[in-house]
Amino acid sequence: MQNLPQAVLIATLTALLGASAIAARPPRGALPDSFMLYFCAPGVDPGEPGDDQGPPRQVRRRFTELTGCNVGEFAIAWGDTEREEPGDGPSRYDFSRVRPPKHVLQQEHIICHLIHFGNRWAGKFRFTDVSRYNELLRRWASATSLTYSPTRTLSGWCGRSR
């Protein structure tokens, strides 16, 4: 009688998904090579600026360790890496301060968020000269993806400044 809720759940899932979907799942412990387990939690510590307040960073990190999550993430902000408007000349990027935390680099999969909001000089013409804004954003995103490649060393990310 104690297994009744589990039996009801299995019967409901079987009815909704079909018996083949439940039978086809991999056995426990067997996961495809590309399997990614990600803990999605708000990203800023209590008291830090941001609209996605969450548990303190050390709690999020410990939860990731305990659950077996194998995905780490970090962000690169346009306004932090291209501080001056390039005018008609080439863009100048400085990625020297981009340093993902060591625990992120130890994950099997790494997600890099490219943050384009908050670029003060580009924000001035974001809606008035959309084609220029989009072209500069495209160049920055391209430079970002070409500049950084993950390594599994303690030195973290290898990059070059432009």
Closest CA to 81 of 27, 147, 152, 17: 147
pLDDT at position 10, please? Answer: 56
- Which residues lie below 8 Å from residue 139, measured CB to CB, with a gap of 6+? 91
Contact (CB, 8 A) for 131 and 94: no
Confidence (pLDDT) at 139 = 92
Amino acid at 14: T
Instruction: State how far the Cα of 49 lies from the Cα of 124, in Å rounded to an integer.
Output: 22
Please compute Rg for the chain using Cα positions. Answer: 22
- Measured between alpha carbons, how far is 41 from 44 in angstroms, rounded to an integer? 9
Domain boundaries, the chain: 1-30, 70-147
| pTM over 0.95, yes/no | no
Cβ contact 78:122 at 8 Å:
yes
Q: What are phi and psi of 111, to 5 degrees?
A: -110, 130
Task: Please report the sign of the dihedral spanned by the C-alpha atoms of residue 90, residue 157, residue 57, residue 73.
Answer: positive
CA distance 37 to 131: 38
pLDDT at 30: 65
pLDDT at residue 153 in the model: 30
User: Do residues 114 and 76 touch, judged by C-beta distance below 8 A?
Assistant: yes
Beta strands in 63-108, from DSSP E residues, in sequence order: 71-77
Kindly give the parts of the chain with pLDDT less than 70: 1-31, 39-46, 49-54, 146-162
Per-residue model confidence (pLDDT) at position 6 = 56
Indicate the residue type of 99. R
∠ CA 125-131-135 to the nearest 5 degrees? 95
